[in-house]
Structure 1
Amino acid sequence: MLTSALRLGIAAIAGLAVALPAAAETRITYKSAKSGSSYYQMGVQIAEAMKAGTDGGIIVTVEESQGSVQNVMETRARGGDYVFTTPPALVGLAQAGKAMFEGKSSPKFDEIRALFPIPSLTMHFVMSKSSGVTDFAGMEGKTILLGKGSFGATEGEKYLKLFGLEGKVTLAEVELSNAVPALKNGQIDGFVTAGSYPAPNVIEAAASTDVTVLSLSDDQITQSKRSKLVIPAGTYAGQDADITTTSLPVVAYTTTDMDEDTAYTLTKTFWETKVKMSEDAPWWKGVDEALMATISGKIHPGAQRYYSEIGFTLTEAQK
């Protein structure tokens, strides 16, 4: 016969078992870009990969963003569950309080740490075949859509100035999301967009109307102070030759508020599922160990642990 004390003890243990959660679950917010962009699609793919790769241990919620600057700024109010994407150069500017971060400095910026590289921002200058434009000089007198507030818009405007086209093209007051229909109906002659290749809006444009994606000369690439990137022939419909353009590296970041185990698991799962993601979306094929060199700041200690395990060499500046 059970004593009263033993009965109470069994009851307490049973109650404790009911109160405990079935399994630990880590929730992450991933903020990258506007919905409909290639980078938003990448976020969705990463979320799916994390869920599958951790058997539901990590659940990623993708948030729409207005751009990389906003992503960095939000570190001031976010906690250890925040992952965001941005070019490494913007992190450096934020930490130095320069350019768009002047007067907006925060100690939180110094706590930003890298996790892993993602596909680079690739510039696309897309012109309708009917415009007859085959190089930058030919854009003079044409109507071009740059969009607003994005890296592609800012970079596109910079290139127009660099290559002597400032004031010589008409800038369309149309949202970038409407670029393809505007190109098809002749409202614009071309548009500028930045995203990993193959870019969804360029795929759509090339499939629905004849387009020419402009190449940059080596001299123009040097003037841009960006990295050279070659989009292989056949990437887009009707593209018979390689496209030479520029790119800007992009990296997934968090802050030191994230614990080491979570950062380790995120990084490990990303690299281990990247091959599967590449089968579904070709832009992941461009992510390899070589892109680690584009991370100019510090890497999270949890991610460093994984890179040490797989033999990736990190610089002293990254540690």
Structure 2
Amino acid sequence: MGGMTMHGNGLKTFAAAAAVLVAGLHATPGAAEERISYKSAKSGTSYYQMGVELANAVKGGTEGEVIVTVEESQGSVQNVMEAAARAGNYVFTAPPGLVSAAAAGTGPFAERQNPRFAEIRSLFPIPSLTMHFVMRGDADARALEDMAGKTILLGKGSFGATEGEKYLELFGLADKVTVADAELGNASDALKNGQIDGFVTAGSFPAPNVIEASASTPVSLITLTDEQVAETGRTRQVIPAGTYAGIDEDTVTTSLPVVAFTTTATSEETAYLLTKTFWDEKAAMGESARWWNAVTPELLEGSGVKLHPGAARYYEEAGIDLPDDLR
């Protein structure tokens, strides 16, 4: 996943949480009835931190009956590829479109087809990769067209960078915007020092690097019209007012849904228990990490990847109505 780098106290808190989790795993050998491998992102990213939060929530919510071991990953393609080789309780995160491409043998999987990709099943959504167009407060930019004449940092190689570049082309801004040649990790300092007028990043919100930028200098977020959102072909996402310092209006943007998947090798009972525990614990997780608050069952709609029977049983029991194509 293309998450963001943690900074300062956030990294210390994350490291402490990870240490507690690892200590817990080693302190109770053999005590857990079920063990689940959870593969999401590189360590130090927000999506890896979410994995640690989820692991702690599942351990607490099942009173140690289910133990989730968080594994570092190099990204979603690797996560999906491993689904063809892993046995047992393997859970991973990826955009649904990537899983559909694997099952169809297209895109990154055209040369690496495997019938086991068709055995991947949905469990529950996690925070979406949400596009942030962050501008310095004095840049007087709130709409996409206001980026014309500005210097923007896109970064390199990430989903946010490629998506940002796509939007500049799509909305006729490619020749009107100067793209800064620098790494996204320097965005906050570059914005504060006036080297750039804005930067583009994608991740769950509140995003650590946007929090950092808004703490040191006034910022604004570009908001899209519904017509512009439709043109991108992405999911409409609203970043609520007050998510970031000084931004007191809702921001309309786009996002790429991200879902936790498993395979049919996971038993119905384990998938049911994991899905139920996730939703039971989500509110508590959201109190300590606000990005969980944006997760709703509706984020599964349109994913096109069928639910695991255990997950489907939970949604049915909970009275959550999901499209037939997921069942």
When normalised by structure 2's length, the TM-score is: 0.83
Superposition map of 1:195-214 within 5 A:
195-214=203-222
Evaluate the alpha carbon distance shift between residue 232 and residue 22 of structure 1 in structure 2; reply closer, same or farther with a 3 A threshold.
Answer: closer
1:69 is paired with a residue whose SS is helix
State the one-letter code of the partner of 2:233: K
Evaluate the alpha carbon distance shift between residue 101 and residue 283 of structure 1 in structure 2; reply closer, same or farther with a 3 A threshold.
Answer: same
Contact preservation (8 Å) 1:67, 1:149: no
1:159 counterpart = 2:174: no
- The offset of 1:47, in angstroms, is 0.9
1:279 counterpart = 2:297: no
Superposition map of 1:56-67 within 5 A:
56-67=64-75
Q: Which range is displaced more, 172-181 or 150-159?
A: 172-181
1:212 is paired with a residue whose SS is strand
Partner residue, 1:296: 304
1:119 counterpart = 2:119: no
Partner residue, 1:243: 251
1:166 is paired with a residue whose SS is coil
1:271 is paired with a residue whose SS is helix
1:220 is paired with a residue whose SS is helix
1:295 is paired with a residue whose SS is coil
Question: d(CA) in 1 for partners of 2:168 and 2:114?
Answer: 34
Evaluate the alpha carbon distance shift between residue 104 and residue 166 of structure 1 in structure 2; reply closer, same or farther with a 3 A threshold.
Answer: farther
- The offset of 1:314, in angstroms, is 3.8
Question: d(CA) in 1 for partners of 2:42 and 2:176?
Answer: 30
Partner residue, 1:309: 317
Partner residue, 2:231: 223
Question: d(CA) in 2 for partners of 1:35 and 1:130?
Answer: 35
- The offset of 1:141, in angstroms, is 4.0
Evaluate the alpha carbon distance shift between residue 22 and residue 253 of structure 1 in structure 2; reply closer, same or farther with a 3 A threshold.
Answer: closer
- Of residues 260, 272, 296 in structure 2, which corresponds to 1:264? 272
- The offset of 1:211, in angstroms, is 1.2
Question: d(CA) in 1 for partners of 2:108 and 2:193?
Answer: 36
1:266-316, Cα deviation, whole Å (9 max, x unpaired):
111101111111211222222233334243211112212222322223433
State the one-letter code of the partner of 2:150: K
- The offset of 1:120, in angstroms, is 2.1
- Of residues 88, 104, 115 in structure 2, which corresponds to 1:96? 104
Question: d(CA) in 2 for partners of 1:42 and 1:202?
Answer: 17
State the one-letter code of the partner of 2:41: A
1:62 is paired with a residue whose SS is strand
Question: d(CA) in 2 for partners of 1:72 and 1:189?
Answer: 37
Gaps in structure 1 of 5+ consecutive residues: 1-20
1:30 is paired with a residue whose SS is strand
Gaps in structure 2 of 5+ consecutive residues: 1-28
The structure with the larger Rg is: 1
Partner residue, 1:18: none
Partner residue, 1:54: 62
State the one-letter code of the partner of 2:186: N
Q: Which range is displaced more, 243-252 or 141-150?
A: 141-150
Question: d(CA) in 2 for partners of 1:279 and 1:255?
Answer: 30
State the one-letter code of the partner of 1:225: G
Question: d(CA) in 1 for partners of 2:169 and 2:105?
Answer: 26
Evaluate the alpha carbon distance shift between residue 130 and residue 108 of structure 1 in structure 2; reply closer, same or farther with a 3 A threshold.
Answer: same
Partner residue, 1:9: none
Question: d(CA) in 2 for partners of 1:120 and 1:242?
Answer: 17
- The offset of 1:167, in angstroms, is 4.3
State the one-letter code of the partner of 1:310: A
- The offset of 1:104, in angstroms, is 2.1
1:216-244, Cα deviation, whole Å (9 max, x unpaired):
12221121112222222211101022211
Question: d(CA) in 1 for partners of 2:31 and 2:71?
Answer: 25
Contact preservation (8 Å) 2:38, 2:68: yes
1:59-79, Cα deviation, whole Å (9 max, x unpaired):
222233333233222223322
2:280 is paired with a residue whose SS is helix
Partner residue, 1:16: none
2:146 is paired with a residue whose SS is helix
Q: Which range is displaced more, 94-103 or 134-143?
A: 134-143
- The offset of 1:96, in angstroms, is 1.4
Percent of residue pairs bearing the same amino acid type: 64
Paired residue total:
299
1:198 is paired with a residue whose SS is coil
Contact preservation (8 Å) 1:123, 1:195: yes
1:42 counterpart = 2:58: no
1:158-205, Cα deviation, whole Å (9 max, x unpaired):
111101122443333433333223322334332111122222211111
Question: d(CA) in 1 for partners of 2:43 and 2:217?
Answer: 23
- Of residues 88, 91, 98 in structure 2, which corresponds to 1:83? 91
